[in-house]
């Protein structure tokens, strides 16, 4: 991975705000899972979110495309505020791509059909055109030869790259990743990370929950550390890893870096 790693500072970040979260709180029943979250993501930023298990990382990024509903505060994505208004939700979802830990490909459809489904039914793209776009992204994730197969016939790493391509087919402006490599065998992690690094270098706005600290150092321009539903610390990666401020961050880093 070292060869693909560039200086993250060189990648373009504009002043335009992509995601604005203000004083956001969320509860599961009486359990206060996200507490007073404030964050601004600018267009082109690559943000890595890390933190111990149960700290609310998944919940946070799932709030951004409203797979989870927040109760108080504000989330504005690309100028659209997420409320219970279904139109806004659909608008945001078609602009925000999401990659899951367990891929969540549609097992009854071929790879190509997985990729063209949303463009055809949500964007109303003609089938032919949708297939061309799909093949373009399959080539980009380096598995065009698998187009006619079913997800069950692919390795985990290939499935996750298909999942990334499936999101890209909707031409999203923001991509969310929820532990995209944690269900993969070590030898497959690299192929997925390489795809993500390439995406970052093209200027995609990315929020990524991951414990791949190599990835964070290679592409992130900001690392956010969460604990107990709060943002505890955020910093640019070099400072974050070399010079963590909070005790909890230090403890966490010593655990995952593990030596």
Partner 1 sequence: MTEPSYLRDTVLPQLPPPLVDRGIIKWIRENLFSGVLNTFLTLAGLAAVWWLLAASLPWFLHGVWDANSLGECRSIIAAEFGEGAQGACWAMLRERWHQFIFGFYPPEAYWRVGLAFVLLFVALAPVLFTEVPRLLLWGTVIYPALGYWLLWGGSIWGPVVAMAGFGLLALVFKLLRPLLGVPVAGGLGFVAAVLWWLFAQGPVAGLLAGVMPVGLVPVESDRFGGFLLSIVIGVTSIAASLPLGILLALGRRSDMFLVKTLSVAFIEFIRGVPLITMLFTASLLLQYFLPPGTSFDLILRVDILVTIFAAAYLAEVVRGGMAALPRGQYEAADALGLDYWSAERLIILPQALKISIPSIVSTFISLFKDTTLVSFVGLLDPLKGISTIVRADMAWKGVYWEPYLFVGAVFFVLCFSMSRYSMYLERKLKTDHK
Q: How far is the CB of 108 from partner 1 (least distance, A)?
A: 5
Site string for ligand ATP, 129-168 (x = CB under 6 A): ----------------------------------------
Please report whether residue 210 would count as binding Mg ion according to CB under 5 A: no
Residue where the block lists tokens 């108080």: 72
Q: How far is the CB of 10 from partner 1 (least distance, A)?
A: 31
Considering only residues 115 to 134 of the shown chain, the ones binding partner 1 according to CB under 8 A are 117-118, 121-122
68 vs 198 by CB, closer to Mg ion: 68
Site string for partner 1, 138-177 (x = CB under 8 A): ------------x-xx------------xx--x-------
DSSP letter (8 states) at residue 10: G
Please report whether residue 181 would count as binding ligand ATP according to CB under 6 A: no
35 vs 102 by CB, closer to partner 1: 102
Considering only residues 85 to 114 of the shown chain, the ones binding ligand ATP according to CB under 6 A are none
Scanning 7-15, 55-63, 72-80, 167-175 for contacts with Mg ion by CB under 5 A, the matching segment is 55-63
Q: Which of 6, 12, 22, 54 binds ligand ATP (CB under 6 A)?
A: 54
14 vs 71 by CB, closer to ligand ATP: 71
65 contact, one of ligand ATP, partner 1, Mg ion, none, CB 5-8 Å limit per kind: partner 1
How long a stretch of residues is the chain?
259
> Helix/strand/coil (H, E, C) string of the chain?
CCCCCCCHHHCCCCCCEEEEEEEEEEEECCEEEEEEEEEEEECCCEEEEECCCCCCHHHHHHHHCCCCCCCEEEEEECCEECCCCHHHHHHHHHHEEEECCCCCCCCCCCHHHHHHHHHHHCCCCCHHHHHHHHHHHHHHCCCHHHCCCCHHHCCHHHHHHHHHHHHHCCCCCEEEEECCCCCCCHHHHHHHHHHHHHHHHCCCEEEEECCCHHHHHHHCCEEEEEECCEEEEEECHHHHHHCCCCHHHHHHHHHHHCC
Q: Which of 58, 160, 167, 195 binds Mg ion (CB under 5 A)?
A: 58
The residues binding Mg ion (CB under 5 A) are 58
């Amino acid at each position: 991975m070292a060869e693909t790693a560039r200086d993250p500072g060189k990648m373009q970040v504009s002043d335009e705000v992509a995601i604005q979260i203000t004083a956001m709180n969320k509860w599961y029943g009486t359990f206060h899972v996200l507490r007073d979250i404030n964050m601004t993501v600018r267009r082109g930023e690559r943000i890595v979110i890390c933190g111990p298990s149960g700290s609310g990382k998944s919940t946070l990024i799932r709030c951004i495309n409203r797979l989870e509903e927040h109760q108080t505060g504000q989330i504005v994505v690309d100028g659209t505020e997420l409320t219970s208004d279904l139109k806004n939700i659909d608008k945001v979802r078609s602009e925000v791509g999401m990659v899951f830990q367990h891929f969540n490909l549609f097992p009854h459809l071929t790879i190509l059909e997985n990729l063209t489904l949303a463009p055809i039914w949500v964007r109303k793209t003609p089938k032919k055109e949708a297939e061309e776009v799909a093949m373009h992204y399959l080539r980009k994730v380096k598995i065009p030869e698998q187009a006619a197969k079913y997800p069950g016939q692919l390795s985990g790493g290939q499935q996750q790259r298909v999942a990334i391509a499936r999101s890209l087919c909707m031409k999203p402006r923001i991509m969310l990743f929820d532990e995209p490599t944690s269900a993969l065998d070590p030898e497959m992690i690299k192929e997925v990370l390489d795809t993500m690094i390439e995406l970052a270098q093209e200027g995609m706005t990315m929020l990524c929950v991951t414990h791949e600290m190599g990835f964070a150092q290679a592409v992130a321009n900001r690392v956010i550390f969460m604990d107990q539903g709060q943002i505890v610390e955020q910093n640019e990666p070099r400072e974050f890893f070399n010079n963590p401020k909070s005790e909890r961050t230090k403890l966490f880093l010593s655990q995952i870096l593990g030596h």
